[in-house]
């Protein structure tokens, strides 16, 4: 079997013709395999959904009970219409998975979003040798080299120690980044309560059910301004009354570039990302050594160039989809 | 790391705390070199943008470099980010080692030495090094550095300022003094001395003061400066200690005489400048600071009279019998004057910030106008300034810049407005839809060749936002041109 017979790009997203299911479809489909709970991957309204238990719970948290939900733990193969399918850890957020498809000697891996840096909230990315590897490219430029997470946490804690009377409010994506920040803070010895918004608290409860120790978390909405003085608050936007003398930070891979940090008008930019940076992307493509890599979810030009230097075959998924499927 | 933290903070107290924390943690001589780097006083040769690009192209594929530069926009920042760190190489033992080797390398060898260090440093360090090498100023607030140093050693700010200006990186003598290991370094003859910085007069306290205790002069007609001449070498410093000598070389050669004079460099209507001398710290070899002002002034007049046709002229005093007289003068001030400086007849000369009523500045009421917000600029990571404009010939032209910090409680709302009305970003500058009128207080309207409008508002500051005002209510260029000095 040839790779494009096992997996092809369609307007609704990646589709496996023999298995008759989509992966992270962009619209409601009959049967979907979902890599992880972020909203650009886990849309609602599908007829049936296959995903890790944590991802299914995240979808239920956002949209209510998932119709036709089938939970599949990591590295446990199932057969769907003759296609062997299993989920391998992607190291992105809790429950995030790569989808491995295999049929008639051909193997494709759809990695979803992934990173290679250790993350206390999820098992590490497992490289799976394959014929086709579909990779994200969020930070696919050599300027993106995320610093070690520990050094960013150290900067945050240094600021908290140097300005003990000030509230530190760090903007962070509500699913994944927030929980990782909490775990990293706890690992670095920060034991005081951390204040969160309602939605983040609900997701943290889900993380707790999956064995994640997040320490004491309190609702920011119920706190008096006096409580927040000197406190740590993680926010994901929206209305939140913060003390006047708050140190505002933001945790994102884009913060590694000073220009982006400046545009956010924040005082404490933390370059902390759940996506692979440039060295991790290059390393992963070399490790997986797929016959062909399809790049999506970001910019492809630099990876195409790097692949050429490395003697690898890389194509932009957009170009493949543009060919109209053969 | 220190610089990146500093660059992101807009609050001066925060910066001071960050600086002090750094100075307490980092040993000599690195902390001295770090301060020098912040103040742009490191002896490192410049690297052109083209040379820097060529250097980076030796380490990174040209296509990847071009894509990176296209995304980031800034050359030194891109090079710092893409430069591959050789994790097997030894890190430099200290900042001093890096600075020493760069300072000693000739212009030809410098890029090679720099590249060697970049291989061995992490991104934040590469960023600072490349910025320094490209000649960018890291940190504009050198006063914060001097304040932090004075606090570190618990020493007098004026003495610290002198020692900072006299010493050179890594400031070994200065730090030895601050640590109590050595005596205060002797001030260099002819060096910088801080000028007397009077507080603003509180008009409510006027009735309690006797007008007869004071002499008054116009203030703010030119740039405040210190003329320090000793052993035939004359130097001119700004009030903040910047050496202006090169700019006024013509005026400073010959015929000055030994002295330390406090005055203003005033532009003459028919071209050229004059130093309008208000006060003296030293005349010939005598320190006159301890003398009463009237005595200093008498001696100063005699000293200047011995040098007719020289650059310095005595600032005239204003005749007044009571405070009402001065208030009348302020209502129609002399050309360019920002206010009146009042000096107690019996007061001694006290360099640095004056805390009591020995010397006061009575500012004329600042005129106000409405202007349109054209651009927002960031300093570090935060939005810090606005460019404001006025209508002229159907177009909006920039007439000045104001600090966003002055918006006080309105700052947050203004920043949100800027984000909502951003048209595009150009490096540190954000262009906004020209639909908002802000209220500006300013000192004067002056001619400016650098502005397309041909004029600029000096001493402009933001005093409010006229959220509801239509842009048509903003000031017209023609109105500003009418109040230009002839
Ligand atoms: Zn994701
Ligand atoms: Zn994604």
Query: For residue B313, what are its two tokens?
Result: 């002229």
Q: Where do the domains of chain A lie, and which CATH numbers do they carry?
A: 3-143+275-324 (3.60.15.10), 149-270 (3.40.50)
Which residue of A141, A262, A306 is in closest CB contact with B381? A262
| Total residue count of chain B as it appears in this document | 486
CA closest to A268 among chain B residues: B8
Query: What is the SS3 string spanning B340-377?
Result: EEEEECCCCCCCEECCCCCEEEEECCCCEEEEEEEEEE
Question: 154-173 in A: which are within 8 Å (CB) of B?
Answer: 155, 159, 162-163
H-type alpha helices, A64-169: 149-162
Q: CA A172 to CA A180: how far, in whole Å? A: 10
Residues B372, B391 share a domain: yes
Q: CA B368 to CA A277: how far, in whole Å? A: 51
A267–B78 CB contact, under 8 Å: no
Chain B contact set for A145 (CB, 8 A): 81, 123
**Which residues partner with B360 through β-bridges?**
B342
DSSP state of A1: -
Residue B445 included in any domain: yes
**CA A92 / ligand 1 centre spacing (Å):** 7
Q: Which of B331, B347, B363 is the last residue of a domain?
A: B363
**CA A41 / ligand 1 centre spacing (Å):** 7
**CA A37 / ligand 1 centre spacing (Å):** 7
- What is chain B's pLDDT, residue by residue, as a tens digit (486 residues)? 677 777 777 677 888 999 999 999 999 999 999 999 888 888 888 888 888 989 999 999 999 999 999 888 888 999 999 998 888 888 877 888 888 898 888 888 899 999 999 999 888 889 888 988 888 777 767 889 999 999 999 999 999 999 999 999 999 999 999 999 999 999 888 889 999 999 999 888 888 889 999 999 999 888 899 999 888 788 899 988 888 888 888 777 765 678 999 999 988 878 888 899 999 999 998 999 999 999 999 999 999 998 877 788 999 999 999 999 999 999 888 877 889 999 999 999 999 988 888 899 998 888 889 999 999 987 656 788 899 999 887 788 999 999 888 888 888 889 889 988 988 887 778 899 999 999 999 888 888 877 888 889 988 999 999 998 888 889 988 888 887 765
Residue B299 included in any domain: yes
Residue B460 included in any domain: yes
Residue B380 touches partner A, C-beta closer than 8 Å: yes
Residues B421, B400 share a domain: yes
Give A53 to chain B, closest Cα distance, Å. Answer: 39
Residue B467 touches partner A, C-beta closer than 8 Å: no
Q: Which of B311, B331, B363 is the last residue of a domain?
A: B363
Residues B359, B213 share a domain: yes
Chain A contact set for B7 (CB, 8 A): 258
**CA B420 / ligand 2 centre spacing (Å):** 26
Q: A54 and A37 in contact (C-beta within 8 Å)?
A: yes
* Cα end-to-end span (Å), chain B: 49
Q: Considering only CA atoms, which of B225, B201, B223 is closest in space to residue B214?
A: B201
B13 exposure class (CB count in 10 Å sphere: 0-12, 13-18, 19+)? exposed
- B233's enclosing H/E stretch is strand B233-238
**Which residues partner with A83 through β-bridges?**
A80
Residue B195 included in any domain: no
H-type alpha helices, B192-331: 249-252, 293-305, 323-331
Residues B359, B258 share a domain: yes
The ligand minimizing its distance to the Cα of A93 is 1
B60–A269 CB contact, under 8 Å: no
* Number of domains chain B contains: 2
A275 exposure class (CB count in 10 Å sphere: 0-12, 13-18, 19+)? buried
CA closest to A244 among chain B residues: B409
Q: B276 and B334 in contact (C-beta within 8 Å)?
A: no
Query: For residue A251, what are its two tokens?
Result: 């945790």
Contacts of A24 (CB under 8 A, 6+ apart): A13, A14, A32, A33, A34, A35, A41, A42, A110, A112
**CA A199 / ligand 1 centre spacing (Å):** 17
Domain coverage including residue B357: 203-363
B188-197: b or e for each residue (b if 16 or more CB lie within 10 Å)? eebbbbbbbe
Sign, Cα dihedral of B353, B355, B357, B362: positive
**Which residues partner with B283 through β-bridges?**
B259, B286
pTM for the complete prediction? 0.81
């Amino acid at each position: 079997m040839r790779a494009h017979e096992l997996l092809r790009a369609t307007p609704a997203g990646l589709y496996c013709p023999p298995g008759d299911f989509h992966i992270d479809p962009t619209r409601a489909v009959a049967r979907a395999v979902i890599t992880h709970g972020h909203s650009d991957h886990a849309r609602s309204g599908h007829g049936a959904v296959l995903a890790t238990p944590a991802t299914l719970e995240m979808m239920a948290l956002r949209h209510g009970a998932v119709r036709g939900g089938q939970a599949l733990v990591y590295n446990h193969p199932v057969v769907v219409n003759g296609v062997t399918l299993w989920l391998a850890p992607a190291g992105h957020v809790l429950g995030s998975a790569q989808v491995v498809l295999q049929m008639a000697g051909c193997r494709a891996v759809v990695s979803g979003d992934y990173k290679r840096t250790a993350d206390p909230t999820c098992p590490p990315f497992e490289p799976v040798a394959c014929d086709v590897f579909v990779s994200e490219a969020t930070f696919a430029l050599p300027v993106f080299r995320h610093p070690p997470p520990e050094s960013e946490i150290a900067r945050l804690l240094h600021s908290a120690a140097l300005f003990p009377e000030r509230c530190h409010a760090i903007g962070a994506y509500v699913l994944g980044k927030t929980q990782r920040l909490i775990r990293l803070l706890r690992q670095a010895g920060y034991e005081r309560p951390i204040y969160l918004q309602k939605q983040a608290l609900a997701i943290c409860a889900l993380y707790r059910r999956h064995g994640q120790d997040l320490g004491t978390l309190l609702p920011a909405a119920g706190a008096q301004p006096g409580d927040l003085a000197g406190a740590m608050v993680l926010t994901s936007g929206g209305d939140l009354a913060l003390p006047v003398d708050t140190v505002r930070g933001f945790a994102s891979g884009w913060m590694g570039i000073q220009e982006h940090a400046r545009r956010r008008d924040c005082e404490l930019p933390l370059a902390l990302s759940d996506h692979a940076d440039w060295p991790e992307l290059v390393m992963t493509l070399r490790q997986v050594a797929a016959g062909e890599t399809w790049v999506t979810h970001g910019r492809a030009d630099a990876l195409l160039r790097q692949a050429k230097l490395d003697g690898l075959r890389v194509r932009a998924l957009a170009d493949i989809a543009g060919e109209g499927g053969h | 790391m220190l610089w990146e933290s500093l660059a992101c903070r807009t609050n001066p107290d925060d910066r001071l705390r960050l600086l002090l924390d750094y100075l307490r943690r980092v040993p000599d001589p690195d902390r001295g070199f770090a301060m020098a780097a912040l103040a742009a006083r490191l002896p490192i040769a410049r690297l052109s943008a083209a040379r820097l690009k060529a250097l980076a192209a030796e380490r990174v594929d040209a296509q990847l470099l071009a894509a990176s530069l296209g995304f980031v926009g800034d050359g030194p920042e891109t090079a710092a980010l893409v430069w591959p760190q050789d994790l097997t190489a030894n890190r430099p033992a200290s900042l001093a080692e890096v600075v020493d080797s760069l300072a000693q390398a000739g212009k030809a060898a410098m890029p090679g030495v720099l590249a060697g260090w970049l291989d061995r440093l992490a991104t934040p360090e590469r960023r600072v090094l490349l910025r320094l090498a490209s000649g960018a100023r890291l940190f504009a607030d050198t006063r914060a550095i001097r304040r932090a140093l004075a606090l570190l050693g618990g020493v007098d700010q004026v003495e610290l300022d002198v020692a900072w200006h006299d010493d050179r990186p890594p400031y070994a003598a200065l730090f030895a003094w601050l640590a109590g290991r050595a005596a205060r370094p002797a001030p260099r003859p002819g060096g910088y001395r801080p000028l007397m910085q009077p507080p603003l007069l509180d008009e409510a306290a006027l009735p309690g003061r006797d007008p007869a205790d004071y002499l008054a002069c116009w203030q703010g007609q030119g740039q405040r400066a210190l003329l320090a001449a000793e052993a035939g070498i004359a130097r001119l410093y700004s009030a903040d200690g910047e050496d202006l000598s090169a700019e006024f070389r013509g005026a400073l050669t010959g015929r000055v005489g030994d002295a330390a004079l406090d005055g203003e460099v005033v532009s003459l209507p028919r071209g050229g400048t004059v130093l309008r001398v208000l006060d003296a710290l030293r005349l010939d070899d005598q320190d006159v600071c301890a003398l009463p002002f009237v005595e200093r002034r008498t001696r100063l007049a005699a000293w200047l009279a011995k040098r007719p046709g020289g650059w310095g002229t005595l600032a005239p005093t204003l005749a007044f019998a009571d405070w009402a007289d001065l208030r009348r003068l302020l209502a129609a001030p002399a050309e360019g004057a920002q206010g009146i400086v009042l000096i107690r007849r019996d007061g001694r000369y006290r360099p640095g910030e004056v805390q009591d009523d020995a010397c006061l500045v009575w500012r004329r009421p600042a005129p106000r106008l409405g202007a349109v917000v054209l651009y927002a600029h960031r300093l570090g990571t935060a939005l810090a300034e606005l460019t404001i404009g006025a209508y002229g010939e159907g177009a909006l032209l920039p007439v000045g810049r104001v600090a966003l910090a002055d918006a006080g409680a309105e700052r947050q709302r203004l920043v949100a407005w800027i984000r909502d009305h951003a048209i595009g970003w150009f490096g540190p500058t954000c262009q906004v839809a020209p639909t908002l009128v802000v209220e500006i207080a300013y000192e004067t309207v002056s001619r400016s060749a650098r502005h397309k409008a041909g004029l600029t508002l000096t001493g402009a500051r933001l005093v409010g936002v006229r959220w509801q005002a239509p842009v048509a209510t903003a000031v017209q260029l023609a109105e500003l041109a009418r109040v230009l000095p002839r």
